[in-house]
Amino acid sequence: RKFALQLLSNRKDKHSLKKRQYKAALDMEYMNKILNF
């Protein structure tokens, strides 16, 4: 869990961490982009 939060926090978006978590939970493409797949 901490690893995933670290990946999200390192990402330079204009959205808050909470919004990035929500977007990653709903959008598989966004999650794959974060995980570099």
Instruction: Judge whether 14 and 4 are in contact, CB under 8 Å.
Output: no
Its domain, for residue 22, covers 2-35
Q: Which amino acid is at 3?
A: F
Residue 26 clears pLDDT 90, i.e. is over it:
yes
pLDDT of residue 18: 92
Residue 19 clears pLDDT 80, i.e. is over it:
yes
Average pLDDT of the residues of the chain: 88
Report pTM. Answer: 0.72
How far is the CA of 31 from the CAs of 18, 24, 35, in angstroms? Answer: 14, 5, 6
Number of structural domains, the chain? 1
CA–CA separation, 14 and 1 (whole Å): 22
Count of residues in the chain? 37
Q: Select, from the ranges 14-18, 26-30, 33-37, the one with the highest average predicted confidence (pLDDT).
A: 26-30
Residue 34: both structure tokens together: 């974060």
